[in-house]
Amino acid sequence: MIDASGSDEAVLVPRLQRGDPAAFEELVRRHGPRLLRVARRMMGSEEDARDAVQDAFVAVFKSIGKFEAHSQLSTWLHRVLINACLMRLRSRRRRPEEDIEEYLPRFAEDGHQVERSVAWPERPLEAADAMIERAELSSLVRASIDMLPETYRVVLLMRDIEELSTDEVAEMLGISANAVKIRLHRARQALRTLLDPHMRGAA
């Protein structure tokens, strides 16, 4: 994350709280690109992502007076944006959500997995090859995350990508911490299943 220094924030926050238009322009210029990247991951659509960022900045404009100076501005902005994304995701749900079961490991009656999990291969790479492979893997992971049912995708993004705590995710989603842990575990299992054919073929 690209954060303003503490001294910069100490100057910027009071200006924002006084309603200084130039301060809000600076806020958008400084934090907008990072927030848009987060929104793209959450929303999966450029238009929805930009709308969510706009919603977030409107919320910031309305509530900046309540911001406590001992908190980090960038962390607060991140939380406001995640809330804005969640609001939009809730409002656009119209069709039944896909079942995650097809992506989860299958178990026999004796409790063992039908298809055993196999460790993914590792191989030494030259520097240039490693960079290309990392970029390809990153793209593959993003595409696989997008295939997850939204309920699980959102929890995975919030916990593993945006690095929010279990309690923060539970509070923002209005569910229990245990429900977050269950959804995250199932999302990780499903993601591994989706990636498995590609990763086994990387040898």
Is the domain of 111 the same as that of 186?
yes
User: Going by C-beta distance under 8 Å and a sequence separation of 6 or more, which residues neighbour residue 134?
Assistant: none
Per residue in 128-167, pLDDT (tens digit) is 445 555 667 778 888 889 889 889 999 999 999 999 999 9
Residue that terminates a domain, selected from 41, 56, 91? 91
- Would you state the pLDDT for residue 97? 59
What CATH number has the domain bearing residue 184? 1.10.10.10
Alpha-helical runs (H) found in 44-176: 46-63, 73-91, 127-147, 150-156, 166-173
Q: For 14-35, what is the mean pLDDT?
A: 93
Q: Is the dihedral of CA 35, 97, 175, 163 positive or negative?
A: negative
Global pTM exceeds 0.85: no
Is the domain of 130 the same as that of 85?
no
Structure tokens at 112: 């063992």
Give the chain's domain count.
2
Q: For 23-43, what is the mean pLDDT?
A: 95
Please report how many Cα atoms fall inside a 13 Å half-sphere around the Cα of residue 18, on the Cβ side. Answer: 8
**Structural contact between residues 190 and 103, judged by C-beta atoms closer than 8 angstroms:** yes
Per residue in 71-112, pLDDT (tens digit) is 789 999 999 999 999 999 988 765 555 667 776 766 555 555
- In Å, how far are 195, 198, 199 from 123, measured between CA atoms? 17, 14, 12
Say if 162 falls within a structural domain: yes
Which structural domain range is residue 74 located in? Answer: 6-91
